[in-house]
A = this chain, B = another copy of it.
Amino acid sequence: MGRDRLLVIGGDAAGMSAAAQARRLRPEMRITVLEQGPDVSFSACGIPYWVGGVVADRDLLIARTPAQFAAQDIDVRTGTRAEGIDLGAGTVRTGTGETLGYDRLVVATGGRPARPPVPGLDAEGVHGVHRLADGADMRAAIAAGAKRAVVLGGGYIGLEMAEVLRARGLEVTVVLADPLPMAQLDPDMGERVCAAMGAMGIDVRPGEPVREVETDADGVARAVRTDAGAYEADLVVLGLGMGPEAALAADAGLQLGSTGAVEVDRTQRSVSHPEVSAAGDCSQTWSRITGAAMHVALGTHANKQGRVAGSVIAGTPARFAGVLGTALTKVGDTEVALTGLSSAAAEEAGYACRAETISATTRAGYYPGAEEITVKLISERGSGALLGAQIVGGPGSGKRIDVFATAIWAGLTAEELAGSDLSYAPPFSPTYDPVLVAARVSSRIEQG
């Protein structure tokens, strides 16, 4: 095939999945991975739990080391930054002045914490939750006696950081621009999350976008100012979402999509330069429900997209099947999960939608440990097609979102799901699982 030199830029989930899959399918391929940081294949999602001390050791977050990849004949070069791509010449220039030729290139440069143009947001003491070094910095700040934390943003990173910092005894304030945390939820569900955070002693400040991070004489963050006031902080956490890290690709002339991420086809190849693939947080993806372009920074998609890229490069057909936007997190004992479209997103996408909310218990009501669970199900009026689901509840609630995700993935209606044969035993669910109750209520004939 002639295409025997694969170069991968970025050594996290997408890049390493692409490399590993290509190696699996094409033992003769020469594979090189450039990673600017010190580690590959680490779990960014685990950083909050390392900061919180739930996970004791940084190294536990590293799934595989460069040496392990080397044993698979994948040449991983950490501390090596890709400075420029020459698409015409088929070369990549590194920070060390080297120029590497490729036959096939995977751009997997990942994401970066969103940093809106707010004064002081780049100050020392403002921490992303992105690299292991971020986690180390926050741990150091706590060890040095940080008492007050302000978390910017109420998405899942914000929630997780607020939880772990509170659990470590810090005073935690969360400031967010949206009227409620977890803005992808419908408001009635978001209110439940907000209440759960309040019950943990987290000071939630909705409708207060950060206006400035105030610094001391040394340029260290000391307070977060919103329109409502200033919140003192020994530690500021950036939880304003993740954007694509696509500058390298854009500078090279790769087409970006409307989300600012590299635009790819369903085989993860660049729409403008099919000899280049892009995968993971730097690449644009699409909604399985509406077909709309989306940018979702999540390890699960990155892994799958990387595999698709690696397969296609190795000559084995594969395609990425889109995303629903499934998300799962917890704040204390309250689990929060969603998939598909919210009511607002469904209406925005042109659906006449129906939303039903039910409350039930996670186990048979008489079984110890039965916890309240609230399920909201969004379906298309008339057809009954499932469009989205949201769950807030106690332990055992969140993972039930996967049943809805699977049902939406498969195109089931509420009525079809309501008839399905889900498991039941008293330690695990009421006779009608809450998933079925929500589906049943959503499939009742609409009244007058």
Contacts and interface: CB of A to CB of B under 8 A. Distances in A.
A157 to B, nearest CB: 11
A156 B410 contact: no
Given A402-B400, A402-B433, A406-B403, A339 B421 contact: yes
Interface in A44-99: 45-46, 49, 54-55, 60-61
Given A423-B401, A435-B402, A46 B328 contact: no
A231 interface: no
Q: Most chain-B Cβ atoms within 10 A of its Cβ — which of A288, A298, A300?
A: A300
B55 A367 contact: yes
A167 B255 CA distance: 64
Interface in A314-370: 316, 320-330, 335, 337, 339, 364-368
Contacts of A298: 424
Given A402-B400, A403-B403, A425 B330 contact: yes
Interface in A166-190: none
A416 interface: yes
Nearest to A431: B299
A435 to B, nearest CB: 7
A390 to B, nearest CB: 12
B405 A421 contact: yes
Contact of A325 (B325, B419, B421, B428): B421
18 contacts: A45-B426, A45-B431, A46-B364, A46-B426, A61-B366, A299-B431, A326-B423, A328-B428, A330-B425, A337-B423, A339-B423, A399-B399, A399-B428, A402-B402, A402-B423, A405-B422, A406-B422, A410-B411
Interface of A: 13, 43, 45-46, 49, 54-55, 60-61, 156, 288, 298-301, 303-304, 316, 320-330, 335, 337, 339, 364-368, 396, 398-403, 405-407, 409-412, 416-417, 419-429, 431-433, 435, 445
